[in-house]
Each structure stands twice: as structure tokens, then as C-alpha cells.
Chains A and B, each alone.
Chain A
Amino acid sequence: DAGVIQSPRHEVTEMGQEVTLRCKPISGHDYLFWYRQTMMRGLELLIYFNNNVPIDDSGMPEDRFSAKMPNASFSTLKIQPSEPRDSAVYFCASSYYGRRSDTQYFGPGTRLTVL
């Protein structure tokens, strides 16, 4: 399996522009998570889906952030309008819920820079 795939790997944009990050989870996984990583705050959960349905979006910073999962193999995280404080590395992770083991596997991340 190719693992979790994210695109783009790097994104540089100007304040006010719309940014869309993409994720393809591991085939067969039923959970998908979006995290943000910064030096100050570490890894923070933004939102997660189960079987394409959003379960918890309490980590989404504000209404400028939105996420969708139209099918089991694709998810997007959109920021509109973007601000410099959104600069961070955004990770997507997926897992399969088992009786005991539901290890999350991470993608390579998208490094976002908002100027």
C-alpha cells in the first residue's frame, strides 16, 4: 500500500487567498484525521471523520476552516481566507477501528506558508 497520500507537499500563498489541502487515506481505513503541527503547540487535532461523516470538529480554529470527505478515498481541508497565523504543517492520518488496535498512520504532511 502507498500509505496516506497528501498534496501538495508545500504551499506558499498570500494572505486572503483560498487554500485547499488534499488527502487520500489508506484503502480500507474507516477513520480519517486532520492535524496541524506548529513549534509552539505541537500536533493538534482539527477534525476527524468516521465512514466519511465528520465526528468531531471542535479543533477547527474558526469558520475560515472547513473539511469534507465526499468518499472513502478522498478528503479536503480548506482555509478561506488564509492568514499568516495559519502557517504550519498539516497532517492527514487514517486508521482502521479494531477491537484493540486502531493505530493511526500519518501522511507526509503539507507545509503551508501564508505571506
Chain B
Amino acid sequence: GIQVEQSPPDLILQEGANSTLRCNFSDSVNNLQWFHQNPWGQLINLFYIPSGTKQNGRLSATTVATERYSLLYISSSQTTDSGVYFCAVEDSGGGADGLTFGKGTHLIIQP
């Protein structure tokens, strides 16, 4: 099956800093999503981005499908950005197959 690798696995930053999280995947995809899991375990969808660039406030994401990677940018970090960020993909087979998740980036924003 498709492989998803995220880097870095852990990241500690001061409030106000910027960060870039990377997701590499091993095969062509129909779907790529970035999620934020808060300390209570809730999974929040940040971006649905199988290709191209999107922005939502301080967050933006870029997926280069031909090179099989995606980047999540967080600017002017706040303590509430802390948590685990997951990249997840759906391979390009027909139909809805569910998502394959990377291992996540554990982000800690210190005040």
C-alpha cells in the first residue's frame, strides 16, 4: 500500500515563530488532507489539498502531486497551535478507500 512519511516528528517553537511541516507519499493520490489533533483527541480537518496551494488565515498548504509531497506552513505560531499534525492520503484507485495516515508531527508552541 501507499506509504506516508512526515517530518519532522517533533518540533518545539516559541510563540510567534513560523514552521514548515512536510509530507512525502509514495504513489499518486486522489486525496490529501492535513489534520490537527488537539489534546482532547479531536481531529480537525485543516486542508483538503490533493494539488495546488490553499491558505486559511495563518495556515497555508501546498501539494506538488507530480513530486509526491505536501507542505503545511504555520505562521506566527500561537500556543493553541500545539498538538499533532497528520497528513493523510487516499490512493488513486477507484472509489472511496479511506485514508492512510502518516505518523504525524508533534508540535509544541511555548509561550
A binds B: no
